[in-house]
Structure 1
């Protein structure tokens, strides 16, 4: 499979930097300086990875991500100087897989992209009447009405299928595997992005991304902040499953 990437960035210096990072990682790169050209480039070149500036002229990065998601499963990494939690949340909800604040370290961008390629995106396995298919895998993690199958990447809440992003699924899998033990942000960040690559620390951006993905996961599960049924925050440490009711 050829390694193709599209860079959507209006700043020529940052665009050149990202192109260099990707080309050094073995990618064939194609670039665009605005949203419309970026959507067209993704449609034409069918990239594995797309980097996307959120503050583009005309059509902004959020609109671009939504347009791309209509026809492509390319991994989207948003690059932006805006690092408020609401901006991160909007980017992830628009279809981004990851988020890096400017200025970013080239090594970090490369590490995150390489980790994505080690976790190929897959379509959910078929289901029968909304119930788990036992022929897919016998390994189901269960907790208080919540079920997760690591092999088929299915999640059910009291029999109802829940659609999660790759990152949300990895967070929930870590918590389900821990069986009530506290899971720290370093472990969760590693599970989402680096697949045990030994990146070795959690930056402020890493920690915030974990928090935002976790907030999205809780929202999809219908977990209230006051008395969470499934996921508890352990302040200053990480997260764990709530005791079964």
Structure 2
């Protein structure tokens, strides 16, 4: 039985692969709705993160439930707090009480806290918010792994670390056929990675972001993901198909 999420990916990328077959001998590629890349140099951060990356200075990341926040007020150490967003999206802070953090960007929350502090207590407070743990960010790991599932990302996470969350590869896995699916600028994109090369230090261990989907293919035989990995290998050097 093929998991529903995998069936969806197969339909999407098989359709794209058929378009890839129409490329000309000169290397030009017909316009399509999907992109494929083979290195993380061209696999950018997804739409769900800031341009600078999810864990290196977030600007438009939306704070979620259970995220850990570090809040500081310039020259007022007594107001500094490390707080976890509760399941309702709220945090409790000195002087101002409960504040809605969930759904806000870092800059929006900074402005909200500063506004509440300035209403009664402080003049032009300088508030800084840092997302210490991105618990609301999750990655899906599917295919030939010991424990497929959806796992929280609580910090800077690489592909090898994400696979380890699923308790590693199962005996039938093909470590050279690991696909990362990601949405970038509204388009579904994919990259193919070889875990053996990464472990040997011959390839980079790419960063994984919230909402990424990792699918590990099986070795030998015909599998649902095999058509996708074959299509990705067949368009090395092409950016669209």
Structure 1 length-normalised TM: 0.25
In terms of fraction of residues, the more helix-rich structure is 1
Between the two structures, name the one with larger relative contact order (CA 8 Å, sep ≥ 6): 2
Larger Rg: 2
Structure 2 length-normalised TM: 0.25
